[in-house]
């Protein structure tokens, strides 16, 4: 027996699915989840995922090549379903024989799951409702991430604890389900594994790992923050259903309100249609996140963070974070 025997036993299906030592995924974070963090996570026994975000196919091509040079362990690629070049991005993944593709940001467009499966990759999807989860799993998705509103970045309206109670009893018997949102310590991982999850996905906890290229000021803002500082954006215009984003409060979160008003006026004037309006909102977030992560503009940029941010106190290597989470989970299970 290893000293992680209980956690590993509960993670068996997830470890097998990911091909990793531990069934801990680092969810893709735009601008943050690039070669350095992704390879560090995978080399640390977890599962790193490249955030394609708004990258062009050429940039994704280069990022996969560079990540492969840094790790021989499995990692995935996260594609945003509304990306205008989704088909080309899938083709790039195929050319590199990527083993796992995560489709995020909405319901996968027709044919996308099939296009990924053609080259033998496993497809991981998100689903906001149980009915949709069942439909996606029926139509070829191999695994599901359920992500609660405690998470950083784009969020749904329901908390992780409620999603876990609703989805896991219904799906975990036959399917690989990962739980995400608000996980900061291993005790929570143990709980979700006992409920039937095959593994977990964390973002915020890894955003400030030593290997993360996020700007030092971005990381300092995370270490200073409390759970209550990570707030969800508010929808201003009933016609413009923007997906809420959880981020640390700053001038940037206020500017988002202004941006929504501007786009609302353009809609009123008929200068943009609904699709273009939503794209403008998403481009705003991508730009604002870059400003904070890369340039270190923590006032005007977007500090996307989940509520677990309050548990982050210092920079640690990704492998140490993973080892700590696993040890906490194991201790919790041993105490049962």
Which residues of the chain form contacts with ligand FMN (CB under 6 A)? 27-30, 32, 51, 53, 78, 104, 147, 150-153, 180-183, 201-205, 207, 304-306, 308
Give the whole-angstrom CA distance, residue 251 versus residue 263.
Answer: 19
Tallying the residues shown for the chain, one arrives at 336
Alpha-helical (H) ranges within the chain are 5-10, 12-18, 35-43, 57-70, 86-95, 112-118, 130-138, 160-171, 186-194, 204-207, 216-224, 251-268, 274-293, 318-335
Contact assessment for residue 144 and residue 133, using Cβ atoms and an 8 Å cutoff: yes
Contact assessment for residue 145 and residue 130, using Cβ atoms and an 8 Å cutoff: no
Give the whole-angstrom CA distance, residue 321 versus residue 206.
Answer: 8
CB of 290 to ligand FMN, least distance (A): 11
CB of 268 to ligand FMN, least distance (A): 30
Which two three-digit tokens encode residue 271? 């200068």
Question: Among residues 106 and 111, whose Cβ is nearest to ligand FMN?
Answer: 106
Give the whole-angstrom CA distance, residue 83 versus residue 104.
Answer: 10
Contact assessment for residue 252 and residue 288, using Cβ atoms and an 8 Å cutoff: yes
Question: Among residues 261 and 283, whose Cβ is nearest to ligand FMN?
Answer: 283
Contact assessment for residue 193 and residue 7, using Cβ atoms and an 8 Å cutoff: yes
Question: Among residues 43 and 204, whose Cβ is nearest to ligand FMN?
Answer: 204
Which two three-digit tokens encode residue 263? 């786009």
CB of 148 to ligand FMN, least distance (A): 8
Question: Among residues 217 and 237, whose Cβ is nearest to ligand FMN?
Answer: 217
CB of 71 to ligand FMN, least distance (A): 19
CB of 125 to ligand FMN, least distance (A): 11
CB of 156 to ligand FMN, least distance (A): 11
Question: Among residues 81 and 99, whose Cβ is nearest to ligand FMN?
Answer: 81
Question: Among residues 137 and 304, whose Cβ is nearest to ligand FMN?
Answer: 304
Alpha-helical (H) ranges within 172-250 are 186-194, 204-207, 216-224
Question: Among residues 29 and 267, whose Cβ is nearest to ligand FMN?
Answer: 29
Number of other residues whose CB lies within 10 A of the CB of residue 2:
8
Question: Among residues 212 and 267, whose Cβ is nearest to ligand FMN?
Answer: 212
CB of 194 to ligand FMN, least distance (A): 19
CB of 219 to ligand FMN, least distance (A): 11
Query: Residue of minimal CB distance from ligand FMN?
Result: 203
In sequence order, the β-bridge partners of residue 178 are 145, 199
Give the whole-angstrom CA distance, residue 200 versus residue 14.
Answer: 9
Which two three-digit tokens encode residue 197? 């999850």
Question: Among residues 32 and 164, whose Cβ is nearest to ligand FMN?
Answer: 32
Number of other residues whose CB lies within 10 A of the CB of residue 128:
15
CB of 220 to ligand FMN, least distance (A): 15
């Amino acid at each position: 027996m290893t000293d992680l025997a209980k956690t590993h036993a509960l993670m068996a299906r997830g470890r097998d699915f990911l091909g990793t030592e531990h069934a801990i995924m680092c969810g893709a974070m735009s601008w943050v989840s690039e070669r350095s963090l992704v390879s560090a996570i995978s080399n640390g026994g977890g599962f790193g995922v490249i955030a394609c975000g708004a990258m062009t196919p050429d940039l994704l091509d280069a990022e996969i090549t560079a990540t492969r040079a840094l790790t021989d362990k499995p990692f995935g690629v996260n594609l945003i379903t509304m990306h205008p070049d989704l088909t080309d991005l899938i083709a790039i993944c195929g050319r590199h024989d990527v083993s796992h593709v995560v489709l995020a940001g909405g319901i996968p467009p027709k044919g996308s799951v099939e296009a990924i499966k053609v080259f033998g990759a496993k497809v991981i999807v998100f689903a906001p409702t149980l009915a949709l989860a069942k439909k996606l799993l029926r139509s070829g998705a191999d695994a599901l991430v359920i992500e609660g509103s405690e998470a950083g970045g784009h969020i749904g309206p329901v908390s992780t604890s409620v999603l876990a109670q609703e989805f896991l009893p219904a799906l975990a018997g036959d399917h690989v389900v990962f739980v995400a949102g608000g996980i900061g310590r291993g005790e929570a991982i143990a709980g979700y594994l006992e409920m039937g999850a095959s593994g977990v996905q964390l973002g915020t906890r890894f955003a400030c790992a030593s290997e993360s290229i996020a700007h030092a000021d971005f990381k300092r803002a995370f270490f200073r923050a409390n759970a209550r500082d990570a707030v969800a954006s508010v929808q201003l215009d009933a016609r413009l259903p923007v997906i809420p984003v959880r981020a640390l409060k700053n001038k940037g979160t206020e500017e988002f309100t202004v941006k929504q008003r501007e786009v609302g006026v353009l809609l009123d004037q008929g200068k943009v249609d609904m699709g273009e309006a939503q794209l403008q909102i998403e481009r705003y977030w991508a730009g604002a996140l870059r400003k904070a992560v890369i340039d270190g503009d923590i006032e005007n940029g977007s500090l996307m963070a989940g509520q677990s941010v309050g548990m982050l106190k210092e920079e640690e290597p990704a492998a140490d974070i993973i080892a700590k989470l696993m040890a906490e989970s194991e201790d919790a299970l041993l105490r049962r």
